[in-house]
Amino acid sequence: SDSGTEGRGKGMIRDYVALDLEMTGLSPRKDAILEIGAVKVRDMEVTETYTAMVNPGFPVPEHVTELTGITTEMAQQGREIHTVLPEFLEFCGQSVILGHNIGFDFGFLQQNAANMGKTFPDMAIDTLAIARKFLPELPSRKLGDLCDHYHIREERWHRACDDADAASRLYQKLAEAFSEENETYF
Round to whole Å and give the CA distance between 59 and 1.
49
Round to whole Å and give the CA distance between 80 and 127.
29
Average pLDDT over residues 20-25: 97
Q: What per-residue confidence (pLDDT) applies to 7?
A: 54
Average pLDDT over residues 12-22: 95
Q: What per-residue confidence (pLDDT) applies to 4?
A: 40
Q: At residue 169, does pLDDT exceed 80? A: yes
Count of C-beta atoms within a 10 Å radius of residue 88? 25
Average pLDDT over residues 124-134: 97
Per-residue burial over 147-161, b if 16 or more Cβ lie within 10 Å, else e, is beeeebeeeeebbbb
Per-residue model confidence as pLDDT tens digits over 77-109: 999 999 999 999 999 999 999 999 999 999 999
What pTM did the predictor assign?
0.90
Per-residue model confidence as pLDDT tens digits over 28-57: 989 999 999 999 999 999 999 999 999 999
Average pLDDT over residues 166-182: 94
Compute the mean pLDDT over every residue in the chain, rounded to the nearest whole number: 91
State percent of the chain over pLDDT 70.
94
DSSP 1: -
Q: At residue 10, does pLDDT exceed 90? A: no
